[in-house]
């Protein structure tokens, strides 16, 4: 059974078909990348998996069960975490606080036990802090632990968002353009982290990314999209050499002649 | 000594403004729209307590009536959100604002129907009693108001800093999208924020009514509290309280040192000054939106 499976998923916005009959499966333990030109439907697919949009037709299965009856806030509890292309952090909070919110679904305390601060709540707080500290160590965020998000540079915010998603301890991590806006060095760090997230943490990764170097370096399989349709699926080199993909990116000879 | 008593009574008034302001800011921070019925919710809370405890109505013990009123207003706040506000999700803020103004009108009308339009006094254990601190004689009602506000502020601080629900409210107010993907049920949190604002309004109403008579238009006090919250910084809970205290103090001081009629204008003059000099309020959480 695949960890995540999209079956003939179609999404229309009014008359525009943003995603057209797309099917693919992400296997447990792999890094799967979605690539394609702008407007190909990559982010739309992300937003359907994270239950922000509901498909017009088709089904999305996580661990063999449809998630289309789940509400947006129930996704984290299933074990799906995500980051955003335009970084969505809690601006008026510290790095540590942001990551601790990631533990929300794991909190088992209630209002009464919290008011009494029972030993159970105390133990739980320690466990959450430890989980967050593991993510902080993993991403080398120690110098920023107590810093307010609002004052942090872009690159750090990007990493904090990834850390917060890891604090959820998900089974599937959705990364929406993890390298966009990052320097070459920062992108290399992201590549190492994605490798380790897969190998050490055993988390399956589905990502949308434009940087083909990063995609080739870390992905086990790649799915290329254009105009909401699947062009090719396979290893990074297979997809990059696929004639349909080359045409979508560079245009066909006919077009060049016409121009 | 005279001045000190004036200050204390100003502080007591300010606490009531501050508590109504807290309700405004809570809802604004969570849902980014202003609940202009907040003052009328305070009035309803006061009247529900009055209706439950006054001998001419139900005649329950005072404290039982207060607790019931807090619970009833909490539930009412929750229901208002679920029934009226939630279906407006995605509409413009101004539509929600007008809806809350309408809710305020309805609240005033309903209160008038049930309890009449004549001013009435809440029978309470503080009225007319004094407490002496050294040579200083303070009204028990004022001491109770200030004490309750202090305790409530501390309680709210602990609630937001340490409880799961309080943290979820903070998270949802800072970034709804991110909150959803942390597993926070944002819609339910919004209802709970309204419930909290309703409960706070009930407490503010009881405190206000313990100082004097109330009638269905008492809720218009909310406008002054709204001004106070803006003076304090309309995105900040401590700011709402501070603004309330500032307005509460400036009223008696200006009528004493300037002229009696001026005290009604001063809060709004202050509001204009703050808007010109410090547009985000005294304690602002300035957040520049990225474009």
What pLDDT, in 10s, does the model give residues B202-222? 999 999 999 889 999 999 999
Two tokens at A202? 């055993």
Q: What is the pLDDT of residue A253?
A: 58
Concatenating the DSSP letter of every residue in A54-109 gives: --SEEEEEETTEE-TTS-GGGHHHHTEEE--TT----TTSBHHHHHHHTTGGG---
Q: What is the mean pLDDT of chain B?
A: 91
Distance CA B267, CA B270 (A): 5
Two tokens at B43? 């009035």
- The CA distance from A191 to the nearest CA of chain B, in Å, is 24
Task: Give the closest of A73, A89, A114 to B184, CB-based.
Answer: A73
Which pLDDT tens digit goes with each residue over A61-104?
999 999 999 999 999 999 999 999 899 999 989 999 999 999 99
Contacts of B34 (CB under 8 A, 6+ apart): B24, B27, B28, B93, B97, B100, B226
Q: Is the pLDDT of residue A202 over 70?
A: yes
Contact B228, B243 (CB under 8 A): yes
Q: How many CA atoms lie within 13 A of A14 on its CB side?
A: 0
Contact A84 B180 (CB under 8 A): no
Q: Is the pLDDT of residue A238 over 70?
A: yes
ipTM: 0.87
Mean pLDDT value of segment B248-277: 90
Contact A50 B183 (CB under 8 A): no
Distance CA A56, CA B64 (A): 54
Confidence of residue B290 (pLDDT cuts 50, 70, 90): very low
Q: What is the pLDDT of residue B285?
A: 59
CATH assignment of A1-79+170-259, among 3.40.800.10, 3.40.50.300, 1.10.760.10, 3.30.950.10:
3.40.50.300
In three-state secondary structure terms, A235 is: coil
Contact B177 A88 (CB under 8 A): yes
Contact B178 A82 (CB under 8 A): no
Please report the domains of chain B, with CATH numbers, ordered by start residue.
Answer: 2-277 (1.10.3470)
Residues of chain B positioned with their CB less than 8 A from the CB of A91: 174-175, 287
Q: Which residues on chain B place their C-beta less than 8 Å from a C-beta of chain A?
A: 162-165, 167-168, 170-171, 174-175, 177-186, 285, 287
Smallest CA–CA distance from A114 into chain B, residue: B163
Q: Is the pLDDT of residue B196 over 60?
A: yes
Q: What is the pLDDT of residue A257?
A: 44
Put simply, the chain A residues between 128 and 167 with a CB less than 8 A from any chain B CB are 150, 164
Residues of chain B positioned with their CB less than 8 A from the CB of A75: 180-181, 183
Confidence of residue B189 (pLDDT cuts 50, 70, 90): very high
Q: Is the pLDDT of residue B185 over 60?
A: yes
Please give the residue that has the higher pLDDT: either B90 or B219.
Answer: B219
Q: Is the pLDDT of residue A171 over 70?
A: yes
Output the pTM of the full model.
0.88
With CA atoms as reference, report the closest residue to B283 among B248, B224, B231: B231
Which pLDDT tens digit goes with each residue over A41-73?
999 999 999 999 999 999 999 999 999 999 999
Domains of chain A, by residue range, sit at: 1-79+170-259, 91-169
Contact A132, A164 (CB under 8 A): no
Q: Is the pLDDT of residue B102 over 60?
A: yes
Kindly report which listed range (B29-33, B163-167, B225-229, B287-291) carries the lowest average pLDDT score. B287-291
- The CA distance from A255 to the nearest CA of chain B, in Å, is 36
Residues of chain A positioned with their CB less than 8 A from the CB of B287: 91-92, 150
Please give the residue that has the higher pLDDT: either A244 or B49.
Answer: B49
Look up tokens 């900040």; give the residue: B236
Q: What is the pLDDT of residue A256?
A: 46
Q: Is the pLDDT of residue B287 over 60?
A: no
Q: What is the pLDDT of residue B93?
A: 86
Q: Is the pLDDT of residue B279 over 80?
A: yes
């Amino acid at each position: 059974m695949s960890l995540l499976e999209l079956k003939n998923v179609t999404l229309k916005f009014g008359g525009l078909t943003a995603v057209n009959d797309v099917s693919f499966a992400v296997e447990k333990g792999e890094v799967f990348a979605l690539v394609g030109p702008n407007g190909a439907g990559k982010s739309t697919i992300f937003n359907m998996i994270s239950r922000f949009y509901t498909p017009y037709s088709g089904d999305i299965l996580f661990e063999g069960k449809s998630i289309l009856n789940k509400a947006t806030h129930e996704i984290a509890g299933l074990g799906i975490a995500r980051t955003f292309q335009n970084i969505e952090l809690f601006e008026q909070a510290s790095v540590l606080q942001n990551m601790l919110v990631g533990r929300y679904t794991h909190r088992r305390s209630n209002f009464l036990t919290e008011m009494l601060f029972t030993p159970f709540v105390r133990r739980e707080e320690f466990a959450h802090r430890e989980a967050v500290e593991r993510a902080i160590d993993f991403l080398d965020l120690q110098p920023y632990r107590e810093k307010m998000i609002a004052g942090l540079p872009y690159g750090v915010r990007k990493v904090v968002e990834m850390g917060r998603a890891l604090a959820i301890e998900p089974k599937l991590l959705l990364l929406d353009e993890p390298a966009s806006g990052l320097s070459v060095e920062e992108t290399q760090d992201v590549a190492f982290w994605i490798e380790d997230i897969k190998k050490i943490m055993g988390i399956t990764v589905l990502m949308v990314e434009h940087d083909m170097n990063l995609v080739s370096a870390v992905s086990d399989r790649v799915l290329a999209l254009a105009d909401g349709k699947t062009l090719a699926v396979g290893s990074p080199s297979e997809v990059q050499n696929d004639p349909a993909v080359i045409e979508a990116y560079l245009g066909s000879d006919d077009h060049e002649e016409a121009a | 000594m005279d001045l000190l008593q004036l200050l204390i009574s100003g502080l007591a008034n300010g606490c009531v403004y501050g508590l109504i302001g807290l309700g405004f800011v809570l809802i604004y921070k969570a849902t980014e729209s202003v609940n202009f019925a907040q003052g009328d919710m305070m009035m309803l809370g006061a009247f529900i307590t009055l209706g439950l405890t006054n001998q001419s109505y139900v005649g329950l013990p005072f404290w039982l009536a207060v607790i019931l009123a807090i619970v009833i207003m909490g539930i009412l706040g929750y229901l208002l959100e679920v029934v009226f506000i939630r279906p407006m999700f995605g509409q413009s803020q101004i539509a929600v604002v007008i809806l809350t103004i309408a809710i305020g009108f309805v609240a005033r009308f309903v209160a008038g129907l049930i309890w009449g339009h004549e001013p009435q006094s809440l029978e309470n254990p503080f009225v007319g009693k004094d407490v002496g601190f050294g040579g200083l004689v303070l009204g028990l009602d004022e001491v109770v108001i200030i004490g309750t506000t202090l305790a409530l502020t501390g309680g709210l601080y602990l609630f937001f800093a340490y409880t799961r629900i309080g943290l979820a409210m903070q998270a949802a107010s800072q970034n709804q999208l991110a909150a959803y993907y942390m597993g926070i049920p944002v819609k339910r949190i919004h209802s709970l924020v309204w419930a909290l604002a309703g409960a706070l309004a009930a407490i503010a109403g009881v405190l206000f009514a313990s100082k004097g008579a109330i009638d269905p238009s008492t809720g218009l006090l909310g406008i002054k509290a709204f001004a106070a919250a803006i003076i304090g910084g309309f995105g900040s809970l401590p700011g709402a309280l501070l603004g309330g205290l500032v307005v509460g103090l400036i009223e008696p001081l200006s009528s004493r040192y300037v002229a009696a009629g001026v005290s009604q204008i001063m809060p709004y003059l202050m509001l204009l000054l703050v808007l010109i000099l410090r547009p985000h309020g005294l304690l602002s959480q300035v957040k520049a939106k990225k474009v």
